[in-house]
Amino acid sequence: MKQKDYQILALALPEDILKAKWCGDFDRALRLIDRRLASGKLPACMQKRLVLEREVIGKLPLDYVYTREEAIRLVQEEIPDFTGEELDALRDDGRVDWIYIQGETMYARRFYETLLTVDPEIAARAGKPPKSESEDQKLLDQNMADMKKNGGASWRVHMRASLQIDESAFRPGKPLLVHLPVPRATSTMRDIEIVCTSHPILRLADADAPARTVSFAGSFEKNEPFWVEYRYTSEARYRALDDQAVDDHQPHFETEELWPHIRFTPLIRTLCAELVADETNPLRRARRFYEYCTQVGTYAYMREYFTLPDSIPDYYAAGLRGDCGVQALLFITLCRCAGIPARWQSGLFVTPYAQGCHDWAQFYVAPYGWLFADCSFGGSAYRAGNAERHAFYFGNLDPFRMVANSALQADFDPPKTQLRIDPFDNQRGEAEYSDCPLDWTQVRADWKLLEMKKLV
């Protein structure tokens, strides 16, 4: 499936299908889809939309695994006095994620992780140290001080990234295609090396590919992990921004819509106008969008993006809950709606203490050029009362990034033919058989930091 085909997700669904979907009657929703597809009355665009919705409905329940009783017991393992009434209140406050499945409330698999991350009281009751005292957070503060003093920072990193197919999904001897994300050339990434791989390489995408991967293909008899080792230098430059230095004339590239998610919906247009008010300076405008995304909304782990509504920025603007990518998408969309160039960037957050997926944004203001906005890290700093770090992540970025993607919905090289695990981004890797896709429950991504050394 081509990446442009996913734009059709922006089309509205028939009301009866939506009713069945959101009360958790997934079997009925699928029957209604099949009846419409068999009717012969649908335009081609709606046929494609309903075919994709079948996939969404099939994947949606996978992220919601706890009944109310199971959710309570999970929390009580660390907080024995936690009650069902507390869980109900958290749900009504929008602080835990849930859906109906066959009329029963089911809770997201990472709802408790979200509470521990963003709710200091819950974390304290569970005996967890405050997030602000973690080694990662201390490293971020030290890096910020170093960058301001030295004008920047750089680190040399040696990593191994791997993807393992679940034994239940492995099909010996069947043609398999695997993509693993690898570092791409950007203004902050240099001296990139592919050191070695687990299997012969089918294709290493160009260094500046918008979603750079290394791919493997074959008919494998043993279910062995696919991995790639790489080295890179991540370099971050500190910029002290001055609103008065902004040029009178600004560029207009990277300001268009990108369906299904970067769209100037009525909510986006209205919110953009409200936040901008009479401000004309693009740097101040962008700062207002950043402050809204970091101070009004809050962080929450998300289900798979493929199963989120047809406008992720609307989802965050209306519900005020989202993870790093959801927050970045709202910032990007508001910037573009206001005529400020903005784009996606993602890959890994890599420190000596942890490695994992992460998303952030770039925006362009002359004469500075491309700047960074990490709404997730900025929001975390704001919740912790760290005003200096909150301000730092508007315009600046730390060097603890492995950049693999510089665009949303970018095709792979070579392209996938089946439905992607994540049609919009790639941080963990993808795998498919020639006749069927694999979903996120059937693969496991992992990272191993082999060496990390500060250069400046």
H or E segment and range at residue 165: strand 152-165
Q: Write out pLDDT tens, residues 47-59.
A: 999 999 999 999 9
Q: Residue 75 burial by CB count (10 A; 0-12/13-18/19+): exposed, middle or buried?
A: buried
pLDDT at residue 5, rounded to an integer: 85
- Give the confidence band of 446 by pLDDT, cuts at 50, 70, 90: very high
Predicted pLDDT at 307 = 94
Residues 100-112 pLDDT 10s: 999 999 999 999 9
Strands of 34-128 (E only): list them: 64-66, 98-101, 104-108
Question: pLDDT value at position 204?
Answer: 98
Q: What integer pLDDT is reported at residue 1 of this predicted model?
A: 67
What does the pLDDT read at residue 373?
A: 98
**CA 126, CA 16: separation in Å to the nearest integer?**
43
Q: What are phi and psi of 398, to 5 degrees?
A: -75, 170
Q: Which two tokens stand for residue 419?
A: 């439905």
pLDDT average, residue stretch 254-274: 97
Q: What is the pLDDT of residues 347-401, one digit of tens each?
A: 999 999 999 999 999 999 999 999 999 999 999 999 999 999 999 999 999 999 9
- Closest listed residue to residue 449, CA positions, set 354, 359, 357: 354
Cα–Cα distances in angstroms (integers) from residue 317 to residues 12, 106, 232, 244, 423, in the given order: 19, 24, 36, 29, 22
Give 454's pLDDT tier (boundaries 50, 70, 90): very high
pLDDT (mean) for 85-99: 95
pLDDT reported for residue 129: 84
- pLDDT above 70 for 83: yes
Cα 71 to Cα 7, 81, 194, 301: the distances in Å are 35, 14, 43, 16
Angle between helix 312-319 and 266-276 (nearest 10): 60
Determine phi and psi for 359, rounding to 5 degrees.
-130, 150
Exposed / middle / buried, residue 353 (Cβ in 10 Å: 0-12, 13-18, 19+): middle
What average pLDDT does range 180-190 have in this prediction?
97
The pLDDT score that the predictor gives to residue 322 is: 95
- Average pLDDT over the chain reads 96
Q: pTM (2 decimals)?
A: 0.96
Contact 64, 109 (CB under 8 A): yes
pLDDT per position as a tens digit, 2-40? 777 899 999 999 999 999 999 999 999 999 999 999 999
Q: How confident is the model at residue 133 (pLDDT cuts 50, 70, 90)?
A: confident
> By the 8 A CB rule, do 215 and 178 touch?
yes
Assess whether pLDDT exceeds 90 at residue 134: no
Report the alpha-carbon distance of residue 305 to residue 25 in Å, rounded: 21
Instruction: Measure the CA–CA gap between 432 and 415, rounded to whole angstroms.
Output: 11
